[in-house]
Amino acid sequence: MSTFEVEIKFRVNDRAELERQLQQRFGHSEFRKPVTESDSFFQHPCRNFVETDECLRLRKRTISEGTSEHFLTYKGPKIDPQTKTRQEIGMLITEPERWETLLVALGFHKSASVQKLRRRLELTIEQRHVEITLDMLPDLPESNRLFLEIETLATEEEVEVCRSLILGLAAQLGLSEPIRHSYLHLVQNECGENRV
C-alpha cells in the first residue's frame, strides 16, 4: 500500500503571532525540544531528480549530544498544485555510512545537503495524527530562515480528505501563501548554487 505525505509549508514572519494562534487553537500543546536534522540528497545515475521532481535523502536527526537516528527516504513527484503532497517511502536505518556506500556503488552521488533546527508539535485532529513543525534554516538570511510545515500521512484513498484537513488548519492559523519549493531549493537559490 502506497503512503503519501500530505504537506503544506509557509514562511513565518511573526513567530510570536504564530505561537499565539497555535495556543489559541490548541490550548496547552507545546513544541518538543529542538532537534538538528542534517539531510544529504542523492542524484540518480540515469535520470535527473530535479526534472522528475523526485528526492532520495539520507537524514541524520541529532536528538541530544551523542544521541542520533538515521532515515533513508524516497519522495515521488508532487501530485497537487496547492500542497506538497507526494508518495513517500521512508525507513529508520542503522549503519548510515554503509547505506551511503551502497548508494554510491549503485551509481548514485551525493548532490547537496541542508541543515535545519526543527521543533515538532504532534496533534490529533479529526482522529488523524498531524505534525506541525517549526523549522529554522541557518544557511538562509536571518529575516527569511523560519518556516512552518503542517503534514500528515495518508493512503492514496485518503489524500483528498487529508489535503482538506491541512488546508483548513492553515486557514485557521491565518496562513495563506504556501511555498512549494523544497528547503534544498530555497537554500541553493539563496546561495546562488545550481538547483540539484
Residue in 193, 98, 102, 190 with CA at minimum distance from that of residue 145: 190
Confidence of residue 178 (pLDDT cuts 50, 70, 90): very high
Would the pLDDT of 68 be above 60? yes
Could you report the per-residue pLDDT of 36-58, keeping only the tens digit for each?
Answer: 999 999 999 999 999 999 999 99
Ramachandran region, residue 37 (left: φ > 0; alpha: ψ -120 to 50; beta: rest) = beta
* Average pLDDT value over all residues in the chain: 91
Question: What is the rounded average pLDDT of the residues 121-139?
Answer: 93
Look up cell 496547492; give the residue: 82
More confident residue, 81 or 93: 93
Would the pLDDT of 30 be above 50? yes
What domains lie within the chain, and their CATH numbers?
Answer: 3-191 (2.40.320.10)
User: Which pLDDT score, from 0 to 100, does residue 66 have?
Assistant: 81
Given a contact cutoff of 8 angstroms between Cβ atoms, the answer to whether 38 and 62 are in contact is yes
Would the pLDDT of 4 be above 60? yes
CA 43 to CA 45: how far, in whole Å? 6
